[in-house]
Amino acid sequence: MAEVTVTPRCSLADRAVQIRVRGLSPGQLVTLRACLRDEQGQRFQSRAFFRADGAGEVDPGIHAALGGSYSGVWPMGLLWFLQPDSLFRRLVKRDVAGSPFRVRLEVLDGLCLGTDPREQPLASCEAQRWYLGPGVQRVPVREGRVRGALFLPP
């Protein structure tokens, strides 16, 4: 039975995570897909195609993606290469303190190019990507024509 994991599951957006898939058949072709919805409900996705190693595992930090949103060894490629479903959209986090981006990671059998919602993943998990660490205080700055935010550590 396939299993996809993200370690750590909850992390700051600028920190690396390890994505691993276990329980595949040796040499099995799979698609790893990441998707999230931004604060306006727009969907962003990335996908990469992999061939499982002899132990039936895929680790994007070790194994090269054969194609998809990127190719080669990119440990964070699924998160770095997220693209909008609609043209001319940018992935922007406005509420940095209130909620994380929730990224759903799925492993699908074979090479999956479409976005068919009927595609059943072999396994899935969710990762939280926060933009503000615990205890950090956000102070709005408004001085003359200067606007911004000051982030103070705990």
Q: Is the pLDDT of residue 70 over 80?
A: yes
DSSP secondary structure string for all residues of the chain: --EEEEESSEEETTS--EEEEESPPTT-EEEEEEEEE-TTS-EEEEEEEEE--TTS-B-TTTSPB-EES--B--TTHHHHT-EESSTT-----S-TTT--EEEEEEEEES---S--TTPPPSEEEEEEEESS-TT-EEEEEEETTEEEEEEE--
Per-residue model confidence (pLDDT) at position 118: 72
Per-residue model confidence (pLDDT) at position 152: 94
Per-residue model confidence (pLDDT) at position 18: 97
Q: What is the mean pLDDT of residues 97-107?
A: 94
Q: Is the pLDDT of residue 68 over 80?
A: yes
Per-residue model confidence (pLDDT) at position 125: 97
Q: What is the mean pLDDT of residues 15-38?
A: 96
Q: Which two tokens stand for residue 128?
A: 């939280």
Q: Is the pLDDT of residue 25 over 70?
A: yes
Per-residue model confidence (pLDDT) at position 119: 79
What is the tens place of the pLDDT at every residue in 104-132?
999 999 998 876 667 789 999 999 999 99
Nearest to 28 by CA among 111, 97, 96, 129: 111
Domains of the chain in sequence order: 3-152 (2.60.40.2240)
* Percent over 90 (pLDDT), the chain: 84
Q: What is the mean pLDDT of residues 50-64?
A: 97
Q: Is the pLDDT of residue 146 over 90?
A: yes
Q: Is the pLDDT of residue 13 over 70?
A: yes
Pairing of strands 123-130, 18-22: unpaired
| pTM score of the predicted model | 0.86
